[in-house]
Amino acid sequence: MATRDENSAAQSGFDQAFLKKLEYLHIVAKKVFAGRLRAERRSRKTGAGIEFADHRQYTPGDDLRYLDWAVYGRMDRLLLRLFEEEEDLYIYILVDRSASMRLGSPGDGAPLLQHGRDGRIAKLGYAAQVAAALAYVGLSNLDRVALHAFAEDMQDQLPAARGKGRIFKVFDFLAGLSPSGHTDLRAAISEFVHKTRRRGVAVVLSDFYDAAGYEEALNLLRYHRFEPAVIQIIDPREARPQLRGDLELFDMETGEGRQVTLTDAMCAAYAKVHAEYCHTLETFCGARGIGYLRASTDVPFEDLMLRVLREGGFLR
């Protein structure tokens, strides 16, 4: 089974070399962050554990076995003893597979991780590499890692599982992604939070090009007690376009078109608008304690992962 998974992943670009890169990243991360990173994570959920955590007021119907009779004797108050409930950490990796993530692809139907002649890779391919690295690190830490692909809604998912052996399933899942559909972050996240009972870290890999906005979607994660983190995938060509002359621009997702004659000044103005857009997202995340990272596809994903691991915030 593992062999079959390896073969299919290798066909999509997630080959042994890629796996070695992930292993290397994992080892480097261990050395750099020794003592801080441990496989065992403790959830903040209180429940049937053995380690005392807190008291709370008794309410009728609570299990009388957990009443703290000693406190009752001293203070004449009915308090219930709470224990930290130990459970596995859930890491949800949400990958945007909308049509806009096709940007940078060398051609239609090209393998996800194929690099173009300029050495760059499609945004979805880059997001898949990052997602695979995150999953590998999580699986190596014995966390439960689940992957979800979304566009206008949640479309594919790889259920949460643990153990490094699952990495090939992750590869297989990511290799099967292809960009299509338009982005609707709110609908997709809403579906995610309502279908996912276990809370955990939710890493969103997307370009966040949603006409309806991204704020509500990220707030939904927060409101549902997920720990959201954002990795914004951008291509340098969309940040600083080199387009000139008479063009018809059309949106990759909606097909909406516009005839323009681009000049240097207009391209500079666009670059400025794009930078403002990214900065707004970053500010939004920073104000709400959401981890934010901007990933440009011209930066090797290994460097990005080292930066992720070094700065922390996504994986504790």
Partner 1 sequence: MSFLGLAVQQLALIFAAAAVVLTALYLLKQQRRRVEVPFIRLWQQVLQRSEATSLWRKLLRLLSLLLQLLVLLLLVLSLGDPRLGRSQRGRTLVLLIDASASMQARMPSPTGRGDSTRLAAAQAQARSFVRSLGGDDLAVVVALDGQPAPMGGLSYEESDLLAQIDGVQARDTGADLPAAIALCRALLLGRPSPTVVLFSDGGFDEASLPTLTAGQDLDVYFQPLPQISSPAADRTLGNAALTALSVRRYRRNRLSYEVLVRMAWFPRPVTSGVLADGTALPSTAQRATLELRQDGEVVDVQTVELMPNQAVERIYNNLSGAGRNIEARLQLVGAADGDILPLDDRAYTVLPERRQQRVLIVTPGNLFLEGALLATGAGEENHLRVERVTPSAYDPARADRYDAVIFDAFTPKAPPNAHAIYLDPQGPSSPFPLRGTLKSPLVTDVEASHPILRWVSLTDVNMSKSSVFVLQPGDRALAGMFKQPLIVAREESTRSGLRRSLALGFDLRASDLPLRVAFPLLLMNALDWFAGDVDEDLGSRRTGQIWRIALSGIARRAGAPRPLSATANLLLPDGESITTPVSEGYALHYGQRVGFYELSLPESAPLRFAANLSDPIESAATLRSELRVGDKRLAAPEPGQRALRRTLWPYLLLAAVALLLLEWWSYHRRWTV
Residues interacting with partner 1, by CB under 8 A?
Answer: 100, 103, 123, 207, 209, 211, 235, 238, 241, 243, 245-254, 256-261, 263, 266, 269-270, 273-274, 277
Q: How far is the CB of 240 from partner 1 (least distance, A)?
A: 12
DSSP for residue 240? S
- Tell me how far apart the alpha carbons of residues 37 and 40 are, in angstroms, rounded to a whole number: 9
Q: How far is the CB of 61 from partner 1 (least distance, A)?
A: 52
Q: How far is the CB of 279 from partner 1 (least distance, A)?
A: 13
Nearer to partner 1 by C-beta: 7 or 254? 254
Nearer to partner 1 by C-beta: 64 or 243? 243
Q: How far is the CB of 166 from partner 1 (least distance, A)?
A: 32
Taking CA 136 as the corner, what is the angle to CA 90 and CA 86, rounded to the nearest 5 degrees? 30
Q: How far is the CB of 284 from partner 1 (least distance, A)?
A: 17
Q: Which position has the token pair 């089974």?
A: 1
| Residue 134 CB partners (closer than 8 Å, separation 6+) | 91, 93, 145, 203, 305, 308, 314, 315
* CA-wise closest residue to 301 among 98, 11, 21, 19: 21
Q: How far is the CB of 92 from partner 1 (least distance, A)?
A: 24
- Tell me how far apart the alpha carbons of residues 200 and 203 are, in angstroms, rounded to a whole number: 10
Nearer to partner 1 by C-beta: 2 or 269? 269
DSSP string, 94-130: EEE-SGGGGTT-SSTT--TT-B-TTS-B-HHHHHHHH
Nearer to partner 1 by C-beta: 2 or 249? 249
Taking CA 83 as the corner, what is the angle to CA 142 and CA 34, rounded to the nearest 5 degrees? 35
Integer Rg of the chain from CA:
23
Nearer to partner 1 by C-beta: 104 or 200? 104
CB 175 within 8 A of CB 12: yes
Nearer to partner 1 by C-beta: 75 or 273? 273
